[in-house]
Structure 1
Amino acid sequence: MLLRKSPAGFTLVELLVVIAIIGVLIALLLPAVQQAREAARRTQCISNIKNVALAIHNYHDTYRNLPYLGFATSDTHPDGDTVSWYGRVLPFLEQNALYETMNFNGRTNDGNNKLYRSTSLSVMSCPSENMTVGERNGDGTIGNYSHQRSSYAVCVGNTNYAQDNANNWDGLWTYNNGGAAFQMNRVHNLSAVTDGTSNTVMLGEVPTNQNESGWQGGYGAVIFSNNGGFTGYLTPNTRSSVDGGRQCWNPNDFPAHKIPCHKSGGGWQSATYAAFSMHPGGVSVGNFDGSVSFVPETIDIWSWRGMTSTQGGEVLAN
């Protein structure tokens, strides 16, 4: 009677070789997969900016002016803690039901506009960021000062936030803001963009943090007028800091972005909120003509300052 030999299995060495080959293939494929995912996230982010830019244009077509950045309630609260442009364009983002719940005449905090302050909108959230609600109650519920963060803010010009053209305010440079179409207590229309709507940045990405227990800085809380914009004084994704600084309380408020920030000495008005994103290499911006582009973080600072002013008359290289 003949005995049949059992088929030989893998030896340990062969098994290790197969595992090593699989590991190499995964290592080769992983960067490509990550790049594809990042490309998809960036595409979605660009689509969001396009939709928000169109909403602002539709607002302009309806009211013949751009939406308020916000206003300072000087008699009760001078820091501009009011509804920003974000709330005013909600009907043009198919959010009319949320818009109808809002009171635009006073402070946004102190329990006012709670639904507005806690509702996350996908069109205002870059998929490369994790959106969180800041300053929750201790039990995780929405409190009187809770605030939903956002990935996009309008451009308030080549200035600090106050747009006050202060002389030598940072010890480095006396700026001339060259105009801005979004300002506290004032509204403008597109005729204010004399540098050209295709050459001037209307909105762009801003960084957010993930702390849910406190205010933790102004970036990303653009539902409020005192956080609804970014300035063009510093280049995108900058790690630099100036005297006015970033309106935040702790150096590690934005660990994902590694932003060296501190509480600005003059309050939020003197802050320089730079454009910032989690996309490698730069930020996505929307221009006043409704177009969207990607601005590299290596852009010449003077070119960037020219792009973020509305009436500076700068000559920008193509």
Structure 2
Amino acid sequence: MSVSKNRAGFTLVELLVVIAIIGVLIALLLPAVQQAREAARRTQCVSNMKNVALAMHNYHDTYRNLPYLGFSGWSGDTISWYGRVLPFLEQNAIADSLDWTNRANGGRNPIYRGTQLSVMSCPSDNMTIGESQNGFGDWSHQRSSYAVCVGNTNYAQDDANNWDGLWTYKNGGSAFRMDKIHNLSAVTDGTSNTVMLGEVPVNQSTDGWRGGFAVVIFSNGAGFTGYLTPNTRSSVDGGRRCWDPNDYPTHKIPCHQSGGGWGNATYAAFSMHPGGVNVANFDGSVSFVPETIDIWSWRGMTSIQGGEVISN
């Protein structure tokens, strides 16, 4: 008597159907996984900004004023507010290594120039060392994700390139200035309504200077301006170099150079988060500002004494 045997395994068609189903499931799950990862990165980014804002407040409590943006001498290549708040970020060793009598670059302050701090790095962005193509040299420099707000103005907060006559530095536009200090009492628009820190984009090139965006360890890259809305593709900069747009592979930032020095530039807030940027206000709170914000609301948020009514 013959006994029939059960067939083992799958046919080719069945195997292809299973593979197709798995592929569809992966395609459905991948965006959710990516969104979850970005949410986690944004949460860490917010935590970093709160720590930096707290360091600013501890500095203010100790010295009764906010730190300088930096000094305008030596072509702006001076140690910025970043160096002054290091002790309040538990970075005393780096702070103790600083030579305040010399420029930040040019072979000086190598520990300061080369040490990347996680608290100053948004995990949604990739940190790079500028001018490091030949190893860590005299002009190599770290970049950071968070810069102070210098108001609705150009970087130097002066009349240069006053395109529309609306610079609000005339109303005390920024609490962070070159060669001048302020305390929190200068923020008459309200500490909960006024931006102290914001995100800036990290240049992915390691070759050459490539402008001041994210080079917050120096005076000439330590801030951003509120003249343009967050994540803008527009540019009215007068002081940055014409880098390759591929230096910012995720968001192409246009090259535009209209002449003048870095003080004429309008470095906008910029992030790798979809839809906007994180900002820390002068009261230490952190919020997400959509890139679609009304430009006048944004300009009002980024000046300290303009008296603007900010709509929600």
TM-score (norm 2): 0.95
CA distance in 2 between partners of 1:205 and 1:163 (Å): 20
- Unpaired stretches in structure 2, ≥5 consecutive residues: none
5 Å-filtered alignment, 1:128-147, equals 128-136=124-132, 138=134, 141-147=135-141
**Corresponding residue number in structure 1 for 2:80:** 84
1:107 aligns with 2:100: no
Segments ≥4 residues shifted beyond 6 Å:
none
**Corresponding residue number in structure 2 for 1:96:** 92
CA distance in 2 between partners of 1:196 and 1:87 (Å): 26
**Corresponding residue number in structure 1 for 2:168:** 176
CA distance in 1 between partners of 2:96 and 2:4 (Å): 82
**Corresponding residue number in structure 1 for 2:248:** 254
- Unpaired stretches in structure 1, ≥5 consecutive residues: none
- Paired residues of 1:281 and 1:296 also in contact (CA < 8 A): yes
Q: Deviations over 1:181-219 (max 9, x none)?
A: 000111111011010000000001000111112111110
Q: Identity, % of aligned pairs?
A: 74
- Paired residues of 2:188 and 2:304 also in contact (CA < 8 A): yes
SS where residue 76 of structure 2 aligns? coil
CA distance in 2 between partners of 1:58 and 1:235 (Å): 29
State the superposition RMSD in angstroms: 1.5
- Paired residues of 1:209 and 1:255 also in contact (CA < 8 A): no
1:196 aligns with 2:190: yes
- Paired residues of 1:207 and 1:257 also in contact (CA < 8 A): no
Q: Deviations over 1:267-308 (max 9, x none)?
A: 110000000000000000000000000000000000000000
5 Å-filtered alignment, 1:230-269, equals 230-242=224-236, 244-245=237-238, 247-252=240-245, 253-269=247-263
CA distance in 1 between partners of 2:13 and 2:238 (Å): 59
SS where residue 285 of structure 1 aligns? strand
1:246 positional shift: 6.0
CA distance in 1 between partners of 2:286 and 2:231 (Å): 18
Amino acid at match of 2:97: T
- Paired residues of 1:53 and 1:290 also in contact (CA < 8 A): yes
1:13 aligns with 2:6: no
CA distance in 1 between partners of 2:251 and 2:146 (Å): 15
CA distance in 1 between partners of 2:216 and 2:258 (Å): 18
1:251 positional shift: 4.2
**Corresponding residue number in structure 2 for 1:280:** 274
SS where residue 153 of structure 1 aligns? strand
1:169 positional shift: 2.6
Aligned length: 309
CA distance in 2 between partners of 1:270 and 1:194 (Å): 26
1:255 positional shift: 3.3
- For the structure 1 residues 103 and 194, does the alpha-carbon distance in structure 2 shift closer, same or farther, using more than 3 Å as the test? same
CA distance in 2 between partners of 1:176 and 1:45 (Å): 29
1:46 positional shift: 0.3
CA distance in 1 between partners of 2:248 and 2:254 (Å): 9
SS where residue 303 of structure 1 aligns? helix
1:254 positional shift: 2.7
1:264 positional shift: 4.7
- Paired residues of 2:168 and 2:303 also in contact (CA < 8 A): no
SS where residue 288 of structure 2 aligns? strand
- Paired residues of 2:239 and 2:260 also in contact (CA < 8 A): no
CA distance in 2 between partners of 1:31 and 1:246 (Å): 39
**Corresponding residue number in structure 2 for 1:289:** 283
Amino acid at match of 1:24: V
Give the counterpart of 1:214 among 184, 208, 230: 208
SS where residue 279 of structure 2 aligns? strand
Amino acid at match of 2:94: L
Q: Deviations over 1:112-161 (max 9, x none)?
A: 101100000000000011101111252xx211000000000000000000
User: Normalized per residue, which structure has more helix?
Assistant: 2
CA distance in 2 between partners of 1:60 and 1:302 (Å): 29
- Paired residues of 2:155 and 2:225 also in contact (CA < 8 A): yes
Q: Deviations over 1:49-95 (max 9, x none)?
A: 0000000000000011101110122xxx2x21100011110000010
SS where residue 202 of structure 1 aligns? strand
SS where residue 239 of structure 1 aligns? coil
1:314 aligns with 2:282: no
